[in-house]
Amino acid sequence: MNVLRAVSLGFCLAVVLPSNAMAQGTLIPPNSKVFLQHIDGFGTDLLAALIGANVPVVIVTDRMDADLEIGGRKQQRNRSASYASDLIDEATITITDIHTATVIDAFTLTAATRDKLARACANRLNDRIAIPKPTEAPRVSTPAPSEAEPVQSSPSPATIQPSSPPAAANSIRLFVQGDFNRLADFTETLRANLHALGMPIRVVQRGEEYDYNIIFALDDTNASAAALDRQGVLVASVIDSGFRAKGVSEGAARKLAKRMASFKRD
């Protein structure tokens, strides 16, 4: 039975859209790879909200690499017919399993501002992510050693050496991806600022091993960037806004460099 349900979420109103194609009750595995559509420029706001809320997903810029796709539309409408200037932001979002073409969730949210709307969408996605249950480690009984077979002593921790560093021992490998427009400005500024902070980097290509996955998004004069480690765990994120796309791209790079340097020092 299709049910129309309204849920109050802070300043936002969430309305669940009935859909026969929706996989009701389907939970999203943690660290799923997510491809964000442009959504009329709202994709950048949503990316920043997902990063800021530490939603356990991995954002990718190539749809072929993704498990899920987030799409929809974003618009402004009047809150009431009486006041034409009383506008609110509204987004209709669908979350689709790319492998099965199944709509996992579909909803419409409204909010007074874009950032509140983006946070509401991020919270909605976070609520659909399955929380893994802790598992108890199996108990393994260790047989007593035979008198005929003397127990081999374990090597001293001092003899265990770490794995060999890459050829460029002092460089950090970054895989940088995101909006092609101004990506070069962002990358070069990030490189220069990290080097100045004592963190020389080497930018690698898709398919090569990396230490951090850098994601850059630009929407007019708003830029966001995030650094994720090899496990897809967020280690740093920034947002910058201003008057020129080049300026905010370089500003986001400078902020991210400082965050990454601080993270490495800690």
Query: Domain total for the chain?
Result: 2
Residues facing residue 73 across a β-bridge: 92
Distance of CA 243 to the CA centre of its chain: 26
Residues 104, 207, single domain; the answer is no
Residues facing residue 75 across a β-bridge: 90
The SS3 assignment for 24 reads coil
Where does a domain end: 76, 108, 127? 127
In a domain, 49, yes or no: yes
Residues 20, 120, single domain; the answer is yes
Domain containing residue 181: CATH number: 3.40.50
In a domain, 161, yes or no: no
Query: Which residues form the domain of 227?
Result: 168-265
In a domain, 189, yes or no: yes
In a domain, 140, yes or no: no
Where does a domain end: 127, 159, 190? 127
pLDDT at 160: 29
The radius of gyration of the chain's CA atoms, rounded to the nearest angstrom, is 23
What DSSP designation does 72 have? E
Decide if 68 contacts 33 (C-beta within 8 A).
Answer: yes
Sequence letter at residue 14: A
Residues facing residue 90 across a β-bridge: 75, 110
The SS3 assignment for 216 reads strand
In whole angstroms, give the CA distance from residue 247 to residue 237. Answer: 18
- Cα→Cα distances 154→150, 157, 159, 160, Å: 12, 9, 10, 11
Residues 255, 176, single domain; the answer is yes
Burial of 4 (0-12, 13-18, 19+ CB in 10 A): exposed
In a domain, 159, yes or no: no
Residues 191, 97, single domain; the answer is no
Kindly report the pTM of this predicted structure: 0.50
Residues 12, 85, single domain; the answer is yes
Residues 51, 100, single domain; the answer is yes
Residue 211: half-sphere exposure toward Cβ, Cα within 13 Å: 16
pLDDT at 40: 81
State phi, psi for 213 to the nearest 5 degrees.
-100, 115
In a domain, 156, yes or no: no
Residues 52, 103, single domain; the answer is yes
Print pLDDT tens along the chain (266 aa). 333 333 323 323 333 333 334 455 678 998 899 998 888 888 878 887 887 777 888 888 788 989 999 999 998 888 766 665 678 889 999 999 999 989 988 999 999 888 889 889 999 999 988 876 555 444 544 455 555 444 444 443 332 233 333 444 568 899 888 767 788 899 999 999 999 998 888 999 878 888 998 888 877 778 888 888 887 777 888 888 888 888 989 999 999 999 888 876 65
Return all residues near 131 (Cβ < 8 A) that are at least 6 apart. Answer: 30
In a domain, 221, yes or no: yes
